[in-house]
Chains A and B, each alone.
Chain A
């Protein structure tokens, strides 16, 4: 990512981060799933935008994959699952919502701080900070949200962070392949036997 693309890509990745905060803000299953879908759409848009800006068709494929998997398929499956299981609308947040948000802010600050030590390339710092933040927030969601779709959403959000990281790196080879692999992780989380049992 060079100066050639004015900051719209960065704006979109900022949107992904915002959606990650949104995940932490939700206390209902439906809202959580919506926020997750929103994050995936933002990510897909960011990928597509970068693909256009850098003339990298692979990134457009990535955008489509993310949109299809995390933006459409996953929310649908989660909604159907939630309806079928008849799980109540609320998600248990282990630390309360305010504490979660404060912690998340601290994590983001930490990520920014850590990436600020990177001497060069200067332009990469901001992107690394955003990536790290999204991944950290995804993990935090995974750790702090229990019940209903909490875990699947957490995995999906983490996967979104990982994909965002690849998207931000210009010229990373075989991105689509890795995206597929990362999405498989989120998909496997839906299938794992513990989840079936519950």
Chain B
């Protein structure tokens, strides 16, 4: 009951926050700051709402709204850790609203803690525990790196930790480089940028659905907010173009890797989590272009690239919670998350399927969805970015564009696989037959998110207009004259992309098709057994046919894993082909490992072993040995005093 109350309270608060943030952005997104006495001794914390934080706050609150609504529905599991959902939301809001280094670090670390706690609801399942262990091993050192980056930023300006003061003294020289590197590790690992992405899929997949929605939608957004805030805002505009290069390298690699892993995974939530890695990689490459363009003093291009990235964040932030909630609904209704046990749910859960279709279309970047708008803007930015800098960067950006396109195409493949295998087709398990459409508290947020993502997809110009204050602040130019309600036209004089126009055109075409059918087509349809290449009717004990005659998740992904996975994921397939005359089905099992993640983990483990072995040798085990060490140290000190102690 208290959790229900908390969920309702959270619902109200995030709704209010969403309205306020949107109103703030519409009103022009000035700066409002607030100092609260909680925080550093004698200093407190500074909070502020500016264009950037307002934009991310609106997104965060939208996701929070959906997650709290879903938490209302999710009363069955009864895990106490669910209370941390609200802690997580609050911590992320704090991090977004922070206007000094301390508040930012505080919010980020608190969010980490809450997201770990969310994984630990149930004792009986070791999966979430392993996921939590892996997340901890990455998140805390990453937070340490982030804090050092913030400290380096704030260290230069005396004791004023507020962003305003840091902005006034941007870092220079090696300190700026160090800030870049540390931020990439500190914030990038949180967003799941390669090579520190390995923790993300298990962690996001293991959390309960409302938490998973928040983790999948808002957590990467928060991490990308950190990247933007530190690299664009706090480091100031006077950074060189090569600052974009690291992001341009890790971003697309992670994107391809993540999307490919999404094709190899067999658990629907893991598929979604892997695709989060891919999407953040794409967005990070957009940020890289923006950094490079800003360094080359091309504000209009930088604003385009940043706008594309932010649009990608928005699309991801709306769509991923939608898909995750849908996956949660599927799990709740069908009792499993494994592709090999699902199928045929579209008949039992039409609303969930429709919502997930909308989400999957956006994930696959199909027009006219939000995902396509984001990808289109990013692509245009890369096109422009390649005209910006020297030959090396140009070629890099062309490669990035190709890899980004590959990632998007792989995302389409994964989306079709997810929807087609999990929701369409025939049931693979009797339990699926008993599935029922989920209740209102889960359906409403899904419908809301689907509607929101459709609206953003149809009117990306409006979303870009809302981020104008942020763009002006970060790169000194916005898209006001280049993005209207009807169309985006990044080159100003040349036509660009008009989602609503494309949608209208497609609608006309569909109307034409329907008209033609009405005009000449035969009316009505007969229902009969599927032809299925001439198969016999199924036996009576398999009323829906042998489920093994339809492709499995592994079978669907087999070609792509054969072509790309062998090289990139070390995919090994084990094929069990029956001899001629046998009646058992052929089976395929594919094993794929993420080589980047594996290498990173092995390296960390080796380092750990070596360090702790050395540390074990270090303190002598006996008291006498320790005393002897004391004498040795004393001798060294005496030598030191002899050498340096002379006046």
- Using a CB–CB cutoff of 8 Å, the interface residues on chain A facing chain B are 94, 107, 110-111, 113-114, 116-117, 119, 132, 136, 139-140, 142-144, 146
Contacts and interface: CB of A to CB of B under 8 A. Distances in A.
Contact of B627 (A110, A111, A143): A143
Nearest to B629: A143
Interface in B619-647: 624, 627-628, 630-631, 634-635, 638-639, 641-642, 645-647
B642 A113 contact: yes
A117 B642 contact: yes
A114 B627 CA distance: 21
Contacts of A142: 624, 627
A113 B647 contact: no
Main secondary structure on B side of the interface with A = helix
A110 B631 contact: no
The 10 closest A-B CB pairs, nearest first, are A143-B627, A114-B638, A143-B628, A110-B638, A114-B642, A117-B646, A143-B624, A113-B642, A117-B645, A117-B642
Contacts of A139: 627, 630-631, 634
A119 B647 contact: yes
Given A110-B639, A116-B642, A143-B624, 4 more contacts: A114-B639, A139-B627, A140-B631, A142-B627
A140 B628 CA distance: 7
A94 B624 CA distance: 9
A144 B634 CA distance: 16
A144 B646 contact: no
Contacts of B628: 143-144
Contact of B635 (A110, A116, A143, A146): A110
Interface of B: 624, 627-628, 630-631, 634-635, 638-639, 641-642, 645-647
A191 B397 CA distance: 77
A139 B645 CA distance: 24
Nearest to A116: B642
Given A94-B624, A119-B647, A146-B624, A136 B641 contact: no
Given A117-B646, A119-B647, A143 B639 contact: no
A77 B72 CA distance: 77
Contacts of B641: 114, 117
B541 to A, nearest CB: 76
A144 B628 CA distance: 8
Contacts of A110: 635, 638-639
B635 A144 contact: no
A111 B627 CA distance: 18
A144 B645 CA distance: 30
Contacts of B646: 117, 119
13 contacts: A94-B624, A107-B635, A110-B638, A110-B639, A114-B639, A114-B645, A116-B642, A117-B646, A119-B646, A142-B624, A142-B627, A143-B627, A143-B631
Nearest to B625: A143
Nearest to A113: B642
A36 to B, nearest CB: 18
Nearest to A143: B627
